[in-house]
């Protein structure tokens, strides 16, 4: 496929993370599947920009920023908070009449329709944030004990939790795109919460479960990327076939 059409995979980070969390993926994916991590304001290369705490506003901003890059097939991937933000981004793109993604990949995040965000509506203290990081089993104790690192990370994490708390489902029509959901077998996000994503597609739905806790995305990276690649290849092949059937002129 390297000599034909390539597919962009826009990747949205989990709470507290930057676009760098997907840097390894760029080296692991084939040439036809181009990983395009999205940097959120207030971190990484956008450190000088203010942190956002309104998820719909942020999704609209991202939709405007990537609109010029939708000149080829693309898909959206998000882990945890990133999955919810990818959902909002898909709706923001649809509202603008922009080309739809070939698929939405939602990892380690409950379906939006019955999602309870009440835990995240009030800003958490440093102690509460650190306790939550321990619970998610994605940050080593040596990092949690690094005061300088925590001073950088905790404000971002606090804003990201508020970002999640700002989510409101409201009135939504199902997306006309496939939704592929990934979950960790030992994660606190339960299977029935992952299955709730079925409500938000009038197209194909799938659920793949992996060994691990909330950060199976790291623990099971090879297996997860194999699944993403397989689904992406199916959708890109289908897209190419549809293009080939369209009449010329």
**Which residue numbers are catalytic?**
80
Count other Cβ atoms within 10 Å, centred on residue 40: 26
No. of helices (H) and no. of strands (E), the chain: 9, 6
CA 78/CA 188 separation, integer angstroms: 17
What's the CA angle centered on 108, arms 45 and 6, to 5 degrees?
Answer: 60
Instruction: Give which of 78, 65, 52 is closest to 166, Cα–Cα.
Output: 52
CA 27/CA 106 separation, integer angstroms: 21
Residue 197 structure tokens: 């994503």
The Cα-based distances of 191 to 61, 119, 159, 210 in angstroms read 32, 20, 27, 11
């Amino acid at each position: 496929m390297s000599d034909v059409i390539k597919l962009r995979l826009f990747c949205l980070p989990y709470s507290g993370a930057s676009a760098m969390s997907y840097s390894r993926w760029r080296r692991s994916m084939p040439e036809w599947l181009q990983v395009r991590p999205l940097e959120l304001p207030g971190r990484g290369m956008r450190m000088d920009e203010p942190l956002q705490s309104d998820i719909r506003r942020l999704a609209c901003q991202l939709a405007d920023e990537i609109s010029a890059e939708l000149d080829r097939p693309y898909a959206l991937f998000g882990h945890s908070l990133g999955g919810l933000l990818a959902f909002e981004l898909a709706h923001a793109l649809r509202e603008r009449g922009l080309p739809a993604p070939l698929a939405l990949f939602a990892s380690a995040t409950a379906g939006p329709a019955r999602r309870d965000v009440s835990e995240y509506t009030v800003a958490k203290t440093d102690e509460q944030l650190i306790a939550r990081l321990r619970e998610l089993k994605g940050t080593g104790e040596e990092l949690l004990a690094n005061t300088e690192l925590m001073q950088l990370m905790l404000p971002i994490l606090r804003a990201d939790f508020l970002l999640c708390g700002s989510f409101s489902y409201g009135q939504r029509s199902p997306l006309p795109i496939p939704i592929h959901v990934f979950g960790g077998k030992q994660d606190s996000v339960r299977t029935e919460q992952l299955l709730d994503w079925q409500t938000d597609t009038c197209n194909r739905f799938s659920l793949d479960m992996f060994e691990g806790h909330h950060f199976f995305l790291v623990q099971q990276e090879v297996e997860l990327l194999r699944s993403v690649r397989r689904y992406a290849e199916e959708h890109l092949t289908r897209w190419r076939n549809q293009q080939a059937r369209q009449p010329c002129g």
